[in-house]
Amino acid sequence: MRSSSAPDALPVLSRGKHWSPRRGACFMELASVLAGERWSDHPSCTHPLLAALAREVNDLTSDGDRQRLVGLVPSVVGRSGDEQTWLRVAVAVASSVAYDVPEPTQRVLAGGLLQAERLCGEDPGLADVRRQARAALDTVPGAVRWIEQLGVRGRISPRMFARNCAPTMVRCAVEGVAVGSPGDGARLRALLEVGIAACAPDVDRQASSAAAAPEPPVASAPVEPTPVSSVSSSST
């Protein structure tokens, strides 16, 4: 029996939110269908930041180029992420475009990348993210100087980064590409691909966690006690 939430045929991708498949679908609404979830542009099968990136790319891509995004929809299903995903996706997306977006956008991205670099700290599990952020910052020294002149040197909390900084970085990166390269659907699609690659599939993360988990101790075989009579006879 077909679920009432599933459309008879895959709807055409279009801009914005849709109340039902009959009116079309955005990228993430189509993902909710493929995941077997309730119709929504915020399905639980995808990390919130990756989903936000997909919605931004969907809405700022032209009607003709938007249909070319359909092939990427299955790639976001089953990528719910973890506590590192906010940093990984934000840094990957911002780093990929920081050099060639308009200067105001560069400044926003530089501010976010500086905060991401500080949050990574000396955590060996985030060393690659820290290096990626630093490499991107080195390409926009003017934006970095502008941020430093503001005197903002404190480190925000991971929660604040996830709540405000990461979504702003993603939104501004997409808008920067749309403004700097109007009509370039290929660049917007590439930006979404960068975000998808930065958010590991759930099965990969589960396998990594299982591999990293310590093996339980092997129980040794119980030693049978020597009967007292045997000890007595052997000693005589």
Mean pLDDT for the chain? 85
In angstroms, rounded to a whole number, what is the distance separating the alpha carbons of residues 141 and 106?
Answer: 10
> Residue 234's pLDDT is what?
47
Helix (H) or strand (E) holding 236: none
C-alpha 172/C-alpha 140 separation (Å) is 16
Helix, strand, coil shares of the chain as percentages rounded to 5? 65, 0, 35
pLDDT for res 154: 77
Average pLDDT over residues 9-27: 80
List b or e across 211-225, with b for residues whose CB sees 16 or more CB atoms inside 10 angstroms: eeeeeeeeeeeeeee
Q: What is the pLDDT of residues 163-205, one digit of tens each?
A: 999 999 999 999 999 998 888 899 999 999 999 999 989 866 5
Specify the DSSP element, H or E, that contains 117. Answer: helix 103-120
Torsion angle in degrees (nearest 10) through CA of 48, 50, 52, 56: -170
Q: How far apart are CA 168 and CA 18, in angstroms?
A: 24
Domain residues of the chain, as ranges? Answer: 21-200
Q: What is the pTM (predicted TM-score) of this model? A: 0.81
pLDDT band, very low/low/confident/very high, at 32 (cuts 50, 70, 90): very high
Indicate the pLDDT class of residue 133, thresholds 50, 70 and 90. very high
Model confidence at 68, pLDDT cuts 50, 70, 90, reads very high
d(CA 65, CA 228): 87
Q: Are the C-beta atoms of 80 and 121 separated by less than 8 Å? A: no
Q: How many helices (H) and strands (E) does the chain have?
A: 13, 0
Q: Which residues make beta-bridge pairs with 13? A: 25
